[in-house]
């Protein structure tokens, strides 16, 4: 991923997966960096999965987010 991509807009999609798949919520961020920071806050929450869609349409999984943060 290009370093410049961190400054482009991105959407954070939070999926509720426990006890059963349910509705999700989506929020637009001014930068991928901000979306990653918001996703980091939900990674340890039970029953939710954060996914990010970059401005280029790339889908970043919870595993990708966790790896990036480490």
Convert the pLDDT of each residue in 8-19 to its tens digit. Answer: 999 999 988 776
Give me the number of domains the chain comprises.
Answer: 1
Give the single-character DSSP code of 60.
E
Q: Model-level pTM?
A: 0.83
pLDDT for the residue numbered 36: 96
| 3-state SS class at 15 | strand
Confidence of residue 33 (pLDDT cuts 50, 70, 90): very high
Yes or no: say if 51 and 62 are a contact pair by the CB < 8 Å rule. yes
The domain of 14 spans 3-69
């Amino acid at each position: 991923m290009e370093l410049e991509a961190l400054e482009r807009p991105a959407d954070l999609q939070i999926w509720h997966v426990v006890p059963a798949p349910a509705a999700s919520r989506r929020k637009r961020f001014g930068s991928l960096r901000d979306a990653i920071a918001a996703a980091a806050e939900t990674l340890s929450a039970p029953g939710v999965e954060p996914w990010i869609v970059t401005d280029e349409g790339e889908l970043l999984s919870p595993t990708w987010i966790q790896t990036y943060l480490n």
